[in-house]
Structure 1
Amino acid sequence: MELVKKIEIITNSLELPRVLKILEKAGVSGYTIIENVTGTGDRGRVINDLATQALTNGYVMSICTEKSEHQLVKAIEPVLKKFGGVCIVSDAKWIAH
């Protein structure tokens, strides 16, 4: 097993392309996206019964090295401050195959 950082990002669906570019620039090569994420947070409740995806959230999960983590967090922070969302970084173990 390899020690890695698990990255979880929830942000406005319209910002997902920007988030993915940030991941790629930080050297993160793989990720999983779940669209139409619902929940509640600092900006109120987000539900999935809207006519447009402009107000929905997306969830991105990936893993990276500690070096990539610092670059990623620095780049994603302005997006989260402007458009809302969260970025959670935790220690994880990856079973390489």
Structure 2
Amino acid sequence: MEAIKKIEIVTNSLEITKVLEILEKVGVSGYTVIEDVTGKGDRGKVFNDLETHALTNGYVMSVCTHEQEQELVTAIEPILKKFGGVCIVSDAKWIAH
């Protein structure tokens, strides 16, 4: 197993494309996206019964190396400050296949 960093990002659905562009730029090779996630944060509750996709959130999960971690977090921070959301970085292990 290889030590890696697990990245979990929740932010405005309209910003998911920018998040994915950042992942690509940093060199992250893959990701999972879940659309229309709901929850509650510092900006209140987010529901998935809204008429417009612009007010919903999306979830992105990926992994990166220790070297990619800081560049990735630094690039995503302005999106979170402007649109809200969260970026969680945790230690994980990758099972190579």
User: Given the two structures, how large is their TM-score scaled by the length of structure 1?
Assistant: 0.98
* Runs ≥4 residues deviating over 3 A: none
1:3-47 alpha-carbon deviations (Å, 9 max, x no partner): 000000000000000000011111111000000000000000000
Aligned position for 2:65: 65
- Percent identity at matched positions? 76
Is 1:46 matched with 2:53? no
- What is the CA–CA distance in structure 2 between the aligned matches of 1:52 and 1:74, rounded to whole Å? 29
Aligned position for 2:5: 5
CA RMSD of aligned residues (A): 0.5
SS class of match (1:75): helix
Structure 2 residue identity aligned to 1:40: K
1:31-87 alpha-carbon deviations (Å, 9 max, x no partner): 000000000000000000011110000000000001111110110011110111000
Is 1:23 matched with 2:16? no
Q: What are the ranges of 5 or more consecutive residues in structure 2 without an aligned counterpart?
A: none
- What is the CA–CA distance in structure 2 between the aligned matches of 1:59 and 1:96, rounded to whole Å? 24
Q: How many residues align?
A: 97
Aligned position for 2:75: 75
SS class of match (1:8): strand
Aligned position for 1:56: 56
Aligned position for 2:85: 85
Structure 2 residue identity aligned to 1:6: K
